[in-house]
Amino acid sequence: MAPVKVTKICCIGAGYVGGPTCAVIALKCPHITVTIVDLNQARVDAWNSPDFKLPIYEPGLDDVVRQARGRNLFFSTDVDKGIKEADLIFVSVNTPTKKSGVGAGFAADLNYVELATRRIAHVSESSKIVVEKSTVPCRTAESMRTILEANSKPNCRFDILSNPEFLAEGTAISDLFGPDRVLIGSLQTPEGKDACASLAGVYSNWVPTNRILSVGLWSSELSKLAANAMLAQRISSVNALSAICEATGANIDEVAHAVGYDSRVGNKFLRASVGFGGSCFQKDILNLVYLSESLHLPEVAAYWRQVVEMNEYQKKRFSKNVVDTLFNTITGKRIAVLGFAFKADTGDTRESAAITLIKDFQAERALVNIYDPQVEHNQIWADLTEAIPNTPLENIKKQVTISASALEACKGAEAVVIATEWKEFRDIDWALVYEGMNKPAFVFDGRLIIDAEKLRKIGFKVKTIGRGERV
């Protein structure tokens, strides 16, 4: 055998991973036809929209799609056709944390992965390379291979690869253009290594070969969980130190800067905040916890669980600080929450710290104004309905308002809470904001983005996370 020359790729799943990844592959590999398939008609319609109002906000993504769509990049709901025609299939479906059954709250729900795998086996009339792109537990590829082999047609061969993504939302396109590494895991058989070489051949159209790493299948699956767990661990570590800073009068920026100068540590992911969010960090750590417990490693499980517990503590500590500072009650007081996405430059709200803060403020019977420049209003209402399940939406809306601008959100408020590090929040006319607020006017910076001294000169009382200051 020899590596297959890939000419047609199908990606099952048009979400945050599959859409941007395969759009960039199409851009960089004009000789390869890339079809992204999804059963969600509305999502596919958005990818095909004439005005390029894509279902995902990601800087630079619309430009990539504009260049490749209709040339060698296609979006479709015809899943079977995409599977049949492809040499290589990415499985890039959602793997949320289970909400019920064995492993609820920790284990990944692999239902969509299994459905996609069964569909590939049922539809395929020729041999395929099947690539795990979703974040999955270690040894998921073994289950996929069992399903494919048990249901394959005669003369159909399936080779399984693991190719985890290491994208950061907000910088996904630049991450794809110049990745730190591309990781490809395969069985260490001649056939597995040939399949690995086929996928490596796709990436080598723009990625230097020394950044394309070939490893064993199980190592690849675990590496994705390990990378996210260790990044989240750094955030929780610096957030734990931020609590000490506030209690002692130290400055977390100065502490992190000093620590980051150590070449063994480095300065990335050492920025204190109100807490991490997104689709990966918490989900992957909980997955690692469940894996550790399944392998009878309780001490390992407890270690990683603490990273998530520290993150939850940081959010609760921040919201309590708001209540304590506002004279121990926020009942009937108006609080402006600036930012609802879990981070800047994305519309993704999964596990956003803002959701926890607003839930806490709502429980204290405060009035909340929300502003975010990218998150759709219906997404905000859906997230709050899920976060506050025992309160009907109409009752939530009696306490929560979505504003059209930051200035509008702050008008008449007692306090401003910065929950997302959008650049525009640095550039607000804070003097104008101060004029429209009730006095004393408070600002709580949960993302370390404002000039606290400048705001104090205007008249604000400022509390910055990780700084032991008195308002």
Do the Cβ atoms of 10 and 37 come closer than 8 Å? yes
Could you give the CA distance from residue 286 to residue 225 in angstroms, rounded to a whole number? 10
DSSP state of 209: G
Residue 463, amino acid: K
Active-site position among 10, 11, 280, 410: 280
Which token pair is 64? 């990539």
Residue 214, amino acid: S
Strand order in the sheet with 461-464: 400-402, 367-371, 334-338, 415-418, 442-445, 461-464
Do the Cβ atoms of 241 and 272 come closer than 8 Å? yes
Could you give the CA distance from residue 288 to residue 281 in angstroms, rounded to a whole number? 11
3-class secondary-structure state, position 280? coil
State the binding site. 13-18, 38, 43, 93-97, 134-135, 169, 280-283, 350
| Tokens 């004393």 found at | 440
Burial track 264-303 (b if 16+ CB lie within 10 A, e otherwise): eeeeebbbbbbbbbbbbbbbbbbbbbbbbbeeeeeeebee
3-class secondary-structure state, position 355? helix
Do the Cβ atoms of 232 and 307 come closer than 8 Å? yes
**Residue 138 designated active-site:** no
What secondary structure, in 3-state letters, does 55-67 show?
Answer: CCCCCCHHHHHHH
| Tokens 């669980």 found at | 305
State the binding site for NAD(+). 13-18, 38, 43, 93-97, 134-135, 169, 280-283, 350
Which residue(s) pair with 368 in the sheet? 335, 400
Do the Cβ atoms of 406 and 337 come closer than 8 Å? no
HSE-up of residue 34 (Cα within 13 Å, Cβ side): 27
- β-strand 367-371 against 400-402: which pairing, if any? parallel
What residues are annotated to the active site?
280
